[in-house]
Amino acid sequence: MTIDPTDGYIGQNAAHMAFKREIANAKVLFFLIRGNRDHLKADLEAVINDARKAAPGSFSVNIITEVFSQTEFRAVVIPHNETELVVQDYESLEVQFNALLFMDLQRILESFLLDLFAEVARKEPRVLISSRTVTFEEVLKTESIPELLLEKQLDELSRTDRDGFQEQFERIGLPILRPDGSTQEEREFLTREFNLLWGIRNILQHNHGVINNIFLKKVPGSGYGLGDRVSIDIPMLGRAFAAAESIADELNSRGVKKFGLP
């Protein structure tokens, strides 16, 4: 599916509209932070200098988060020695922001897959046919057996990994990564980046960004070695944005056509 970059595809179904809203927010956030890099750093240093002048020796930079009265409030406090850590190594702040944004891209894509599967299942309940069991108590409490089965399937999917999502979508005849209709180079790019989204997200979240044997088994040919530390740079983040949006847009277009989604 070829998309004009100046006129992006937004499906009319709720799953894709929610995805586009979140991915657009992520792109704009990236634009604001990256596009104002020097300005933001200068602003931070100016705020710190003003706070230092107002309270020589010991000071803090505060962000008010809740106001209870004129004299009572809650704030995020950045003590003066913590501000120095950031200013001295501003690049570490950017690396952490990139990692957080990378993990959020995986979350956005995963949420879309869950939402799209739910839309398909509500339109075609037959996709819920499986060997999964339910209790008499669950049957008696529910107002809809299909909704009960869907709830169980979504819960299972939300706790699975990349392979689990791929297997489920293959099962309903809607593979996440289309095996045809694009160049081999594009298929290889999307496959690699899709695998990295899940694999690196897990490494960042659960292993302090250090490559382990689980990652190497799940993402063969990644170019990383055991013990390598992952650092999300701008090109890597750009590839993740491109892959997440391309995969979701193309998959949604096929899903809408195959299952007659609104």
The tens place of each residue's pLDDT in the chain, 262 residues long, gives 455 556 789 999 999 999 999 999 999 999 999 999 999 999 999 999 999 999 888 899 999 999 999 999 999 999 999 999 999 999 999 999 999 999 999 999 999 999 999 999 999 999 988 767 778 788 777 888 888 888 889 999 999 999 999 999 999 999 999 888 779 999 999 999 999 999 999 999 999 999 999 999 999 999 999 999 999 999 999 999 999 999 999 999 999 999 999 8
DSSP state of 62: E
pLDDT at site 26: 98
- Residue 46 has a pLDDT of 95
pLDDT of residue 219: 94
Q: What is the pLDDT of residue 124?
A: 94
**pLDDT score at 64:** 95
57's enclosing H/E stretch is none
- Token pair belonging to 228: 């390598």
**pLDDT of res. 180:** 83
| pTM exceeds 0.75, yes or no | yes
Residue 30 and residue 241 in contact, taking contact as beta carbons nearer than 8 Å: yes
Rounded Cα–Cα distance for residues 64 and 40 (Å) = 19
Interacting residues of 86 by C-beta distance below 8 A, sequence separation 6+? 44, 92, 93
Q: Which residues contact 246 (CB under 8 A, 6 or more apart)?
A: 190
Check residue 5 and give its pLDDT.
57
